[in-house]
């Protein structure tokens, strides 16, 4: 489109009231159900085009197909002529034409005359002026249909962004005078004490008041291993408490929390217009008035050179030129053409949120990707078991029996590996040592299961080279002797390496950015074969890295950058990239298919 479209630029301006509603934690009274609201919204959106189409087809039918002119029958449809015919087509025109005329007038009042709304209004009203009623209705109807296709794609993207806002907890539990109270997160002051229950998402930034706690940080950092946070350490909004009830001291107002800053980054990145959009907007200020001037010349100048000049004929030609030359002609042709391409992609499990991405995908030169949930499955699994002095099955059985007393995700992975063969063993005197692991008695044997710090604490000798393994390592000791270890990691998707290889064969540079530990990121990067990788990144760091990569391509508009990610932490860079690809989880989709 040649003109700046406020309603289709993908910004969040039109949704400000919805954002404020979510932030305040309030809901409208007596709202309709989501299904009812969806049906009502769909009907309001498409009803004008449907009504105009039905009336246009009816008028064309009366004009060309059912008029009876024979000596054996009377002129049954002579009534469809003159003022009645004009009134019929006016009624057909208004549902789609009136909104465009209103917008044209609104822009004129803002001293922005030569917009596509103005040109469409002049062209279609001109068609009515020379008696070409069906053409006036048809042109405005086709224009509206093109707009609906584009708006539908944009609204899908907006709904995805609004869904991010819904992940912010509106209410939190605070402790006042020794009593727990549920209050709006936005109303909590710095310094107050918030209580976080197991499975609950943290709503504010703060510091740990309790001795320790285990938190899932994947939504913020993408790190797959839950983090143990001790007293005095920072807790960020968006983390999920994995175990016991903990208390924290609030250090940051709701609107300045880490999660709120991520959402602001999303809005800022989404609002940035591409260079092509800015160029077209500038070009339209010259091109659109020129088209209007040429259409006027086509209508009037032939009067001085054509002997049999008829104003109505040349006005018709001028209007035709106006419609053909009008920038909105692209809105009619391009969405309808690309709609078939979008449909073809959906059959392969790929959803394109706009036709422009079909073109951009052909210009990719850099693909940046997250690790967790993108190249890996995001699920812990035991990768390797190395026993010492016993069978693999025996070590797994004993360790799983001890780990059955823990709810940590690492313990869950070992239990899944052991497959319930541990349930007959007697487990006693289990003690969880925070930040270390578990100590207890299994089937009469003293056992330890945890990290290197746990074994050092109880003076158990082991090979220190094990500490250099990048993945999570659970070491075990039985009766004071080292008994082996488990390597636990997020499993790499089976098609990840093949996908990276295919990209490199097409001359596309591959980069991996992750919030996970640098050693883990390096190990995964080498397995899948990416060209460049960076670990220990916060969302702001990912944005900075993507901006650096985009700067490399700044002088080459045909070199585009795509970001493939999963999770809230990736949202700012997905929006900032030329092409943002979010990994989908729809049931009918094949695994690892992107949503664009």
DSSP assignment string, 145-195: HHHHHHHHHHHHHHHHHHHHHTTS-SEEEEEETTEEEEEEGGGPPTT-EEE
Write the CA distances from 546 to 365, 532, 540, 543, integer angstroms.
Answer: 13, 13, 10, 5
Contacts of range 317-325, beta carbons closer than 8 Å, 24 or more positions apart: 318/126, 319/122, 319/123, 319/126, 319/127, 319/130, 319/295, 321/291, 321/294, 321/295, 322/119, 322/122, 322/123, 322/126, 322/291, 322/292, 322/295, 323/119, 323/123, 323/139, 325/291, 325/294, 325/295
The secondary structure of residue 274, as a DSSP letter, is: P
Active-site annotation, residues: 370
List the Cα angle 538/158/551 in 5-degree steps. Answer: 45
What is the three-state SS of 13-52? HHHHHHHHHHHHCCCCCCCCCHHHHHHHHHHHHHHHHHHH
The bridge status of strand 472-478 relative to strand 445-450 is antiparallel
**Does residue 229 come out as left (phi exceeding 0), alpha (psi in the -120 to 50 range) or beta?**
beta
């Amino acid at each position: 489109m040649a003109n700046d479209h406020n309603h289709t630029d993908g910004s969040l301006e039109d949704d400000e009231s919805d954002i404020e509603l979510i932030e305040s934690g309030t809901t409208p009274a007596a709202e309709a159900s989501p299904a009812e609201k969806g049906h009502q919204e769909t009907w309001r959106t498409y009803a004008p085009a449907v009504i105009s189409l039905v009336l246009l087809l009816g008028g064309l039918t009366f004009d060309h197909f059912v008029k009876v002119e024979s000596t054996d029958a009377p002129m049954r449809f002579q009534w469809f002529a003159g003022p009645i015919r004009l009134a019929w087509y006016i009624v057909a025109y208004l549902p789609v034409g009136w909104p465009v005329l209103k917008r044209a007038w609104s822009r004129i009042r803002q001293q922005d005359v030569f917009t596509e709304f103005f040109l469409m209004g002049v062209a279609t009203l001109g068609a009515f002026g020379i008696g070409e009623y069906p053409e006036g209705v048809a042109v405005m109807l086709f224009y509206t249909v093109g707009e609906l296709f584009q708006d539908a794609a944009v609204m899908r993207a907006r709904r995805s962004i609004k869904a991010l806002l819904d992940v912010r907890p509106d209410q939190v539990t605070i402790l006042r005078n020794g009593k727990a109270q549920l209050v709006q997160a936005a109303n909590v002051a710095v310094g107050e004490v918030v209580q976080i229950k197991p499975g609950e998402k943290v709503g504010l930034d703060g510091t740990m008041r309790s001795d320790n706690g285990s938190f899932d940080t994947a939504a913020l950092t993408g790190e797959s291993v839950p983090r143990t946070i001790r007293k005095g350490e920072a807790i960020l909004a968006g983390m999920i408490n994995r175990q016991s009830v903990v208390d924290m001291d609030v250090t940051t107002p709701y609107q300045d929390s880490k999660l709120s800053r991520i959402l602001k980054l999303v809005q800022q990145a989404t609002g940035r217009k591409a260079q092509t959009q800015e160029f077209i907007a500038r070009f339209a200020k010259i091109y659109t008035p020129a088209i209007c001037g040429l259409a006027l010349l086509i209508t009037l100048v032939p009067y001085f050179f054509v002997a049999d000049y008829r104003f109505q004929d040349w006005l018709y030609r001028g209007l035709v030129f106006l419609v053909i030359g009008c920038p909105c002609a692209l809105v009619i042709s391009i969405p309808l053409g690309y709609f078939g391409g979008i449909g073809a992609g959906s059959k392969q499990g790929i959803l394109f949120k706009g036709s422009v991405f079909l073109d951009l995908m052909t210009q990719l030169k850099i693909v940046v990707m997250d690790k967790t949930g993108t190249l890996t499955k995001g699920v812990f699994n035991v990768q390797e078991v190395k026993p010492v002095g016993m069978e693999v099955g025996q070590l797994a059985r004993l360790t799983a029996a001890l780990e059955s007393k823990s709810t940590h995700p690492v313990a869950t992975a070992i239990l899944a590996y052991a497959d319930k063969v541990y349930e007959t063993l007697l487990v006693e005197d289990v003690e969880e040592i925070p930040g270390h692991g578990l100590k207890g008695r299994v089937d009469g044997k003293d056992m330890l299961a945890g990290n290197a710090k746990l074994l050092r604490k109880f003076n158990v000798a082991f090979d220190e080279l094990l500490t250099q393994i990048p993945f999570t390592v659970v070491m075990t000791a039985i009766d004071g002797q080292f008994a082996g270890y488990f390597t636990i990691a997020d499993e790499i998707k089976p098609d990840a390496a093949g996908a990276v290889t295919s990209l490199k064969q097409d001359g596309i540079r591959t980069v991996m950015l992750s919030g996970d530990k640098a050693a883990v990121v390096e190990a995964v990067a080498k397995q899948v074969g990416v060209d460049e990788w960076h670990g220990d990144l916060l969302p702001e760091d990912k944005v900075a890295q993507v901006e650096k990569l985009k700067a490399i391509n700044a002088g080459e508009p045909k070199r585009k950058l795509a970001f493939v990610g999963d999770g809230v932490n990736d949202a700012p860079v997905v929006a900032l990239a030329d092409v943002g690809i979010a990994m989908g989880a729809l049931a009918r989709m094949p695994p690892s298919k992107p949503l664009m």
